[in-house]
Amino acid sequence: MTTALTEIRPMHREDAPQLARLEALVEASPWSEKNFLDSLNAGHLGFILEKEGQIAAWAVVMTVLDEAELLIIGVRPDMQRQGLGSKLLSFVLRELRGRTVLMNLEVRAGNLPAIGLYKRFGFLQTGIRRGYYPGENGSGREDALLMSLSPLPECGMNAGGSAA
């Protein structure tokens, strides 16, 4: 997927150091460089959205038979609120269409922007994992909402959240 300013490409091992640095800027319990490398070594699908030659967003998906789990998706802080997360998620869903019928994910219960994004794509809450995440600023624990999408849409969503 290419436009004048953005391109989505596969994630490479060489991306891991920069991804770990960016992840630390957006997550309370970020993935490390080793987490990214382990995931790629395990055969998970990794995607990078570049904007003007810089990594702007990233996603990693684990597939098992006809199911997928969105393990991680993030947008660097200085590029948030530009529809890049929507664009990347739309791309991921299109890539999985035809070989995956169900996508699951976990999201912090307090991450309202992410929950809103997933709901715009049709994800429904299917459960709660109590105390799943370390709390923000190292205090307590935070619940994870379990969300699922099935079947995957015929086409992805555009960056505005409507059918493409």
The predicted-structure confidence for 86-131, as pLDDT tens digits, reads as follows: 999 999 999 999 888 899 999 999 999 999 999 999 999 999 999 9
Q: Is residue 59 part of a domain?
A: yes
Query: Catalytic: which of 23, 118, 133, 142?
Result: 118
Range of the domain at 50: 6-149
Q: Domain tally for the chain?
A: 1
Q: Is residue 162 part of a domain?
A: no
75 is in an annotated binding site: yes
> Which position has the token pair 């990794």?
46
31-81 residue pLDDT tens: 999 999 999 999 999 999 999 999 999 999 999 999 999 999 999 999 999
Q: Is residue 154 scored above 70 in pLDDT?
A: no
158 is in an annotated binding site: no
Q: Is residue 1 part of a domain?
A: no
pLDDT of residue 6: 82
Whole-angstrom Cα distance, residue 107 to residue 126?
Answer: 12
Q: Is residue 164 part of a domain?
A: no
- 133 noted as active-site residue: no
Q: Is residue 3 scored above 50 in pLDDT?
A: no
Whole-angstrom Cα distance, residue 77 to residue 30?
Answer: 14
Interior/surface letters 139-154, b for 16+ CB within 10 angstroms, e for the rest: eeebbbbbbbbeebee
107 is in an annotated binding site: no
Cβ proximity of 23 and 71 under 8 Å: no
- 132 noted as active-site residue: no
Q: Is residue 159 part of a domain?
A: no
Q: Is residue 60 part of a domain?
A: yes
74 is in an annotated binding site: yes
Q: Is residue 99 part of a domain?
A: yes
Q: Is residue 160 part of a domain?
A: no
Here the CATH number for the domain that contains residue 73 is 3.40.630.30
Query: Catalytic: which of 106, 133, 142, 154?
Result: 106
